[in-house]
Amino acid sequence: MGIYLDNAATSYPKPETVYAAVDRFMRDVGSSSGRGAYRKALLADKIVFATREALGRLFGVRDVSRIVFTANATESLNLALKGLLAPGDHVVTSSMEHNAVWRPLKRLEHERGIEVTAVPCSMDGSLNPQDVADALRPNTRLVALTHASNVTGTILPIGEVGEAARRHGVLLLLDAAQTAGSCPIDVEALGIDLLAFTGHKGLFGPTGTGGLYIREGIDLLPLKEGGTGGESILEHQPNHLPDRYEAGTLNVCGIAGLSSGVEFILNEGVDRIREKEKELTGYFLQALEGIHGIEVYGPKDPEKQVGVVSLNISGVMPQDVAHVLDEAYEIMVRSGLHCAPMAHRTIGTIDRGTVRFGLGYFNTIEEIDAAVQALAEIARKALS
């Protein structure tokens, strides 16, 4: 049991309907999708199609064939960046990016000679959209940004950045790993050309699920080639979507769970989920203010961040705090650099990282109270 506060890594628990969908698929369907014409295979096709449709409703995508399934946000970001960028292209990104954006960009810088500008964010992780507009050059092909930092929770001004990008004819790639399901995302309203999302965090799906929305008119080089079920006579990968980017047997079992996760979100409403996370985050932040010896990073304002709160206790290393929370209080959190070293440089914690609390829709005020009490005790002992 215990108190799970690591939802920024992956959400837990999932809605009951997600467990039921995975179980039902494994027991009663079990077949591959896009491969057979017998009734059970068609049932698998139906599950995959229904999931694409549900995601389309969530993200405001009309042509759902332009949503392709991947294993996670990392694969989606690799497909978008490696499929799009060519020698001489310039990319603008931020200093709060996850390694899932930063490492592919570094590789492309090295191998394809692309140029990268990381616009510096403030100490609380916030980004001035004008700084992004000022960084655009005639050869800028793409702005690649996280929607919210997985270190501080800071929400970046995607609407304004999208507008500036559109005005300059530059594409916008959004890393929605920390926001899909808990913040409203409409690809049309926000001017998003490529939307990378993961299935196992805010969308409540199983691990091994994710996807990429690719706006009409954008052609990416596939990351992989292989069987697609149809057009097997072709020697090359088919051109039409989603097959062009979905080589190999899909994770239909995971997608069945993801489908139920997205349906759960559509039924609850993203706004309600966001309100609950804001309530928990605001409550936590306010309670932390009263504890001597704790430094909190980020905007410290639930309106400006998702349910991610990073902190340190003076005199105690983050991994020791996380260890005591687990061993003595059964509270699960993450410590260290959270796969985003640039973000830690930005907020001044590159030397030790932070203790990160990832609050989720299923957490309660009582669980936050327990975390606050535990932190107060650890901080008091450290000072004595």
Ligand X SMILES: Cc1ncc(COP(=O)(O)O)c(C=O)c1O
Tell me the window of 86-94, 129-137, 172-180, 352-360 that interacts with ligand X (CB under 6 A). Answer: 172-180
**Residue 22: C-alpha distances to residues 14, 46, 48, 233 (Å):** 11, 15, 13, 33
CA count, 13 A, side-chain hemisphere, 91: 28
Burial readout 303-338 (b: 16 or more C-beta within 10 A, e: otherwise) = ebbbbbbbbbbeebebeebbebbeeebebbbbbbbb
Dist CA 331 CA 204 (whole Å): 21
Binder to ligand X among 51, 74, 228, 281 (CB under 6 A)? 74
- DSSP 8-state symbol, 195: E
Residue 208, classified by CB atoms within 10 Å of its CB into exposed (0-12), middle (13-18) or buried (19+), is middle
- E strand map for the chain: 3-4, 67-70, 90-94, 115-119, 140-146, 171-175, 194-198, 210-214, 294-296, 308-313, 331-332, 334-336, 354-358
Strands 354-358 and 67-70: unpaired
Tell me the window of 69-77, 128-136, 220-228, 298-306 that interacts with ligand X (CB under 6 A). Answer: 69-77
Toward ligand X, which CB reaches closer, 211 or 302?
A: 211
Toward ligand X, which CB reaches closer, 11 or 150?
A: 150
Tell me the window of 72-80, 242-250, 311-319, 365-373 that interacts with ligand X (CB under 6 A). Answer: 72-80
Binder to ligand X among 175, 193, 277, 367 (CB under 6 A)? 175
Toward ligand X, which CB reaches closer, 140 or 198?
A: 198
Toward ligand X, which CB reaches closer, 70 or 363?
A: 70
| 339: annotated active-site residue | yes
Question: Should residue 98 be labelled a site residue for ligand X when binding is judged by CB under 6 A?
Answer: yes
User: Could you tell me which of 219, 228, 196 has the C-alpha nearest to residue 75?
Assistant: 196
Binder to ligand X among 93, 126, 178, 237 (CB under 6 A)? 178
Cβ 295 vs Cβ 353: under 8 Å: no
Rule CB under 6 A: which of 183-222 touch ligand X?
A: 198, 210
Rule CB under 6 A: which of 272-331 touch ligand X?
A: none
Binder to ligand X among 140, 146, 237, 259 (CB under 6 A)? 146
| CB of 35 vs ligand X, minimal distance in Å | 26
Strands 334-336 and 354-358: antiparallel
Toward ligand X, which CB reaches closer, 99 or 260?
A: 99
Toward ligand X, which CB reaches closer, 34 or 83?
A: 83
Question: Should residue 356 be labelled a site residue for ligand X when binding is judged by CB under 6 A?
Answer: no
| CB of 97 vs ligand X, minimal distance in Å | 7
Toward ligand X, which CB reaches closer, 45 or 97?
A: 97
> Of these residues, 121, 183, 253, 339, which one is catalytic?
339
Question: Should residue 177 be labelled a site residue for ligand X when binding is judged by CB under 6 A?
Answer: yes
Strand order in the sheet with 115-119: 67-70, 210-214, 194-198, 171-175, 140-146, 90-94, 115-119
Toward ligand X, which CB reaches closer, 253 or 374?
A: 253
Binder to ligand X among 44, 47, 80, 100 (CB under 6 A)? 100
Dist CA 140 CA 168 (whole Å): 9
| CB of 177 vs ligand X, minimal distance in Å | 3
| CB of 50 vs ligand X, minimal distance in Å | 22
Question: Should residue 80 be labelled a site residue for ligand X when binding is judged by CB under 6 A?
Answer: no
| CB of 200 vs ligand X, minimal distance in Å | 6
Question: Should residue 73 be labelled a site residue for ligand X when binding is judged by CB under 6 A?
Answer: yes
Binder to ligand X among 140, 150, 228, 349 (CB under 6 A)? 150
Cβ 353 vs Cβ 335: under 8 Å: yes
Cβ 296 vs Cβ 285: under 8 Å: yes
Question: Should residue 156 be labelled a site residue for ligand X when binding is judged by CB under 6 A?
Answer: no
**Residue 95: C-alpha distances to residues 17, 36, 164, 169, 296 (Å):** 38, 47, 18, 23, 19
Query: Site residues (CB under 6 A) for ligand X?
Result: 72-74, 98, 100, 146, 150, 175, 177-178, 198, 210, 339
Active site residues: 339
